[in-house]
């Protein structure tokens, strides 16, 4: 039986006086890939920000490994292993690949495993091994995304959250990113993926949620949602 690493219960939040999320309920099971899909403005990134503590929850609860973290500050959530790879990669362009990766291992638990984590990242991304001393800002978009994913893994995540990892990449690089996500899933790394590439996401995912206008409007296995007429018309153009 899988266990829920993350449970979001009746979550409501927003910005200023504008409410974005309305009673959202999702779970992420240990060792599984959970995906949230939906069009622009559906509330996907806002949900991730609330889970990480970047914005406060107005109502509802966020449970992580059985502990209520709804009121915890963001840095304490990170220390517990709640790690996000942000949209747009957000690397330090003037720092080397190695320095960017090292920045991921800043919490106490991750620092103790830095060599082991680095070996894992470089096995996963052999291209980075040759580029450790290269400035991150001089790399291609696909290579930068590898560094961003690697930096997230260096933090020894209990849950790795990926916000639009294929955004802005050429089609060939999009395939590479999804191949990497598949490898991570096969390694048993618990992931929560937010992604606009609905077709590739649903092909890989163990469980998926469809969001629209700040609410979860549908959930199921990737296969179930891909075969749903509503999803096919709204997101797959079929």
Q: Which residues contact 125 (CB under 8 A, 6 or more apart)?
A: 146, 149, 150, 180
Domain span at 232 = 1-81+160-166+192-238
Answer whether residue 137 is part of any domain.
no
Q: From residue 186, how far is each of 33, 69, 189, 190 by CA, in Å?
A: 10, 28, 8, 10
Cβ contacts of residue 115 below 8 Å, gap of 6+? none
Whether 20 is in a domain gets the answer: yes
Beta strands in 95-237 (DSSP E): 159-163, 191-194, 207-212, 215-220
Inside any domain, residue 17: yes
Asked, for residue 73, whether it belongs to a domain, the answer is: yes
* pLDDT at 32 > cutoff 90: yes
pLDDT of residue 1: 45
Question: Closest Cα partner for 82 from 1, 190, 213?
Answer: 190
Q: What is the pLDDT of residues 194-208, one digit of tens each?
A: 988 888 999 999 999
Asked if 28 and 193 count as a contact pair (C-beta separation under 8 A), the reply is no
* Residue 214 domain-assigned (yes or no): yes
Is 22 strand, coil or helix? strand
**3-state secondary structure (DSSP) of residue 201:** helix
* pLDDT tens per residue, range 96-137: 999 999 998 887 778 888 989 999 999 988 889 988 999 998
Neighbours of 23 (CB within 10 A): 13
Say which residue, 163 or 229, is predicted with more confidence. 163
* Residue 94 domain flag: no
* CATH code where residue 77 lies: 3.40.50.300
d(CA 175, CA 186): 16
The answer as to whether 183 is a domain residue is no
Whether 199 and 236 have beta carbons less than 8 Å apart is answered as yes
Q: Please report where in the chains the tokens 């690949």 appear, as a residue.
A: 97
- Interatomic CA distance for residues 148 and 3, integer angstroms: 27
Mean pLDDT value of segment 24-29: 97
Give the residue among 64, 34, 12 at the shortest CA–CA distance from 209.
Answer: 34
**214 has a pLDDT exceeding 50:** yes
Cα of 80 vs its chain's centroid, Å: 16
Q: How many structural domains comprise the chain?
A: 1
Interhelix angle 97-104/114-124, rounded to 10 degrees, is 130
Residue 213 included in any domain: yes
Q: What is the model's pTM? A: 0.91
């Amino acid at each position: 039986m899988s266990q829920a690493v993350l449970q979001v219960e009746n979550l409501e939040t927003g910005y200023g006086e504008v409410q974005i999320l309305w009673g959202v309920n999702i779970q992420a099971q240990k060792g599984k890939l959970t995906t949230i899909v939906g069009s622009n403005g559906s509330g996907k990134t806002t949900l991730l920000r609330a889970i990480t503590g970047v914005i406060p929850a107005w109502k509802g609860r966020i449970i992580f490994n059985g502990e209520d973290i709804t009121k915890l500050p963001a840095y304490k959530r990170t220390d517990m292993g709640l790690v996000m790879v942000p949209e747009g990669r957000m690397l330090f362009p003037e720092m080397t690949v190695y320095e960017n990766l090292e920045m991921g291992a800043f919490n106490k638990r991750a620092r103790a495993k830095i060599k082991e984590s680095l070996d894992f990242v470089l096995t996963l991304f052999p291209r980075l091994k040759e580029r450790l001393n290269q400035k991150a800002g001089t790399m291609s978009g696909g290579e930068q995304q590898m560094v961003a994913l690697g930096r997230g893994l260096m933090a020894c995540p209990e849950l790795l959250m990926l916000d639009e990892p294929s955004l802005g990449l050429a089609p060939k690089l999009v395939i590479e990113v999804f191949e990497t996500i598949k490898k991570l899933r096969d390694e048993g790394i618990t992931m929560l993926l937010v992604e606009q590439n609905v077709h590739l996401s649903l092909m890989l995912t163990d469980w998926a949620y469809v969001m629209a206008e700040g609410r979860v409007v549908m959930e199921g296995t990737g296969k179930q949602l891909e075969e749903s007429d509503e999803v096919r018309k709204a997101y797959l153009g079929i």
